[in-house]
């Protein structure tokens, strides 16, 4: 029997509930595919602060480095809002990405047919949308030096530095090309090379890497134009690759286009490690009430099966079960609409598992 090892970080707020749903689905995958996932539990975020005073304890980091993948719920909440910035729960998330060198953030934006009316765009515009934004995650303007607020001639000046080496660009672009090769073989590279030298280098490296992937259709878009085209023609995009700040903005825009935050999974991957988590936050206001939507976390699990363990069939089975559950009309409160069946976290997980036919 094939065995894998993962670290489970339930986190804060609704994190423990939605992770439990994902683990129940994983248990069904184990039964159907004859594999086993050894699970180590660790603390992160506010839960870790309460227990150890550190949002990312060394014990947690060690467990993550000893695993093949990490499944994360959510971190943060108003309980810890008054802590110093460097001690807040979110710092644990930022640090784990850096420590594990998770340089590529994968953000799918898919329109689920039963939820198509959740999109703010017209049905004919958004129908068939299934894109993946690949965002460089560990470099760029969020990490560049120098940075800070300084005084010059008696006036305050704010400085941030957008910096990329060609190796940092090359590795995330290559990852995006590889993923596009397993999808619809189209890659859109987004930059601002008409005014930014760092973007000019980005575009040069993309062109160099493209020579190794002659079967992939490549297009270049300036970031402002890309933002417009995601609204005008979202269903024409396949894989989009871009730098840290542009990817931060465009992936959120793509998420709004498809209509529901509770349906958005993500992966942060590197050469050795990978972390999977829903896009939404910890929602402390509904924690413990049994109404949280676990689908984004279950979809993050499906991404883990696909990208970390090569279990494409299992990943597709999970996605198909979710689609079938939605088609049957089951909805958690965040995606409920008149005429559908309102259920809680546990109930919709039950339905997804029932729809995973062997």
Catalytic residues: 142, 192, 224, 248, 252
Q: Do 315 and 182 contact (CB within 8 A), yes or no?
A: no
Measure the CA–CA gap between 20 and 41, rounded to whole angstroms.
Answer: 12
Measure the CA–CA gap between 205 and 117, rounded to whole angstroms.
Answer: 40
Measure the CA–CA gap between 117 and 277, rounded to whole angstroms.
Answer: 25
DSSP labels, 228-243: HHHHH-GGG--EEEE-
CA trace torsion 61, 65, 71, 77 (10° rounding): 20
Beta strands in the chain (DSSP E): 2-11, 35-42, 69-74, 104-110, 130-136, 148-152, 155-159, 186-191, 217-222, 239-242, 265-269, 274-278, 330-331, 341-342
Q: Of 324, 327, 312, 326, whose CA–CA distance to 357 is shortest?
A: 324
Q: 146: cis peptide before it, omega within 30°?
A: yes
Q: Of 2, 11, 39, 43, whose CA–CA distance to 23 is shortest?
A: 39
């Amino acid at each position: 029997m094939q065995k894998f090892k993962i670290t489970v970080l339930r986190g804060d707020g609704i994190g423990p509930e939605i992770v439990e749903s994902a683990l129940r689905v994983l248990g069904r995958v184990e039964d159907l595919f004859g594999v086993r996932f050894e699970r180590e539990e660790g603390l992160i975020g506010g839960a870790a602060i309460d227990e150890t005073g550190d949002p990312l304890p060394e014990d947690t980091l060690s467990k993550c480095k000893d695993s093949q993948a990490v499944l994360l719920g959510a971190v943060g909440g108003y309980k810890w809002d008054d802590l110093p910035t460097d001690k807040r729960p979110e710092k644990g998330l930022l640090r784990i990405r850096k420590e594990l060198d998770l340089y590529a953030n994968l953000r799918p934006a898919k329109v689920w047919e039963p939820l198509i009316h959740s999109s703010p765009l017209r049905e004919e515009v958004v129908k068939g949308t299934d894109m993946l934004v690949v965002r460089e995650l560990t470099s760029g303007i969020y990490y560049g030096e120098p940075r800070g607020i300084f005084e010059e001639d008696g006036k305050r000046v704010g400085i941030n530095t957008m910096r990329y080496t060609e190796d940092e660009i090359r590795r995330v672009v290559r990852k995006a090309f590889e993923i596009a090769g397993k999808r619809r073989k189209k890659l859109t590279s987004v930059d601002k090379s008409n005014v930014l030298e760092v973007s000019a280098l980005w575009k040069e490296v993309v062109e160099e890497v493209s020579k190794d992937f002659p079967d992939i259709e490549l297009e270049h878009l300036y970031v402002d134009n890309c933002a417009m085209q995601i609204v005008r023609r979202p269903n024409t995009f396949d894989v989009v690759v871009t730098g840290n700040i542009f990817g931060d903005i465009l992936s959120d825009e793509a998420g709004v286009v498809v209509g529901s935050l509770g349906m958005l999974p993500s992966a942060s991957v590197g050469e050795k490690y990978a972390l999977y988590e829903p896009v939404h936050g910890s929602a402390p206001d509904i924690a413990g009430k049994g109404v949280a939507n676990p689908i984004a976390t279950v979809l993050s699990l499906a991404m883990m099966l696909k990208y970390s363990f090569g279990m494409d069939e299992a990943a597709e089975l999970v996605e198909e079960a979710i689609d079938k559950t939605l088609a049957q009309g089951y909805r958690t409160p965040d995606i409920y609409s008149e005429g559908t069946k309102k259920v809680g976290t546990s109930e919709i997980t039950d339905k997804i598992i029932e729809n995973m036919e062997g």
